[in-house]
Amino acid sequence: MALHGKGMLIVFNEVARSDERDFNEWYNREHIDERVALPGFGRGRRYVAASDRARGRETKYLATYECSRVEDLATPSYLKLLASQTAWTQRVMARFTRFQRLTLHIRADLSHGVGGAVTCLRFEPRPGDSKILSAWLRDEALPQAIARPGMLGGTAGDNDLEVANAPAKFQGVDYPRADVAEWVILLEGAEPADTAAAARALFKLSALKPFGVTRAPSIATYRLLYGNQR
- CATH number for position 123: 3.30.70.100
Give the model's pLDDT for residue 168. 75
The pLDDT of residue 169 is 74
102: in domain: yes
Dihedral sign for Cα 45, 224, 94, 218, please: negative
pLDDT in tens, the chain (230 residues): 689 999 999 999 999 999 999 999 999 999 999 999 999 999 999 999 998 655 556 899 999 999 999 999 999 889 988 888 999 999 999 999 999 999 999 999 999 989 999 999 999 999 889 999 999 999 999 999 999 999 999 999 999 999 988 887 766 554 556 677 899 999 999 999 999 999 999 999 999 999 999 999 999 999 999 999 98
Phi, psi angles (nearest 5°) of residue 106: -70, 125
Residue 191 lies in a domain: yes
Q: Is residue 30 part of a domain?
A: yes
Strands 117-123 and 183-189: antiparallel
- Asked if residue 43 is part of any domain, the answer here is yes
Burial of 189 (0-12, 13-18, 19+ CB in 10 A): buried
In a domain, 1, yes or no: no
With b for 16 or more beta-carbon neighbours within 10 A and e for fewer, the 105-130 pattern comes to bbbbbbbeeebbbbbbbbbbbeeeeb
Whole-number pLDDT of residue 176? 55
Residue 216, pLDDT score: 95
Q: Residues of 31-43 as b/e, b for ≥16 C-beta within 10 angstroms?
A: bbebbbebebbbb
Q: Looking at residue 83, what is its pLDDT?
A: 85
**Number of structural domains found in the chain:** 1
The verdict on residue 224 lying in a domain is: yes
118 falls within a domain: yes
Question: Does residue 218 lie within any of the structural domains?
Answer: yes
Cα dihedral sign for 3, 169, 162, 212? Answer: negative
From 67, 55, 64, 65, select the one nearest 98 (Cα to Cα): 55
Q: How far apart are CA 11 and CA 190, in angstroms?
A: 22
Look at residue 153 and give its three-state secondary structure. strand
Contact of 161 with 179, CB cutoff 8 Å: yes
Structural domain span for residue 215? 7-229
Q: What share of the chain is helix, strand, coil (3-state, %, to 5)?
A: 35, 35, 30
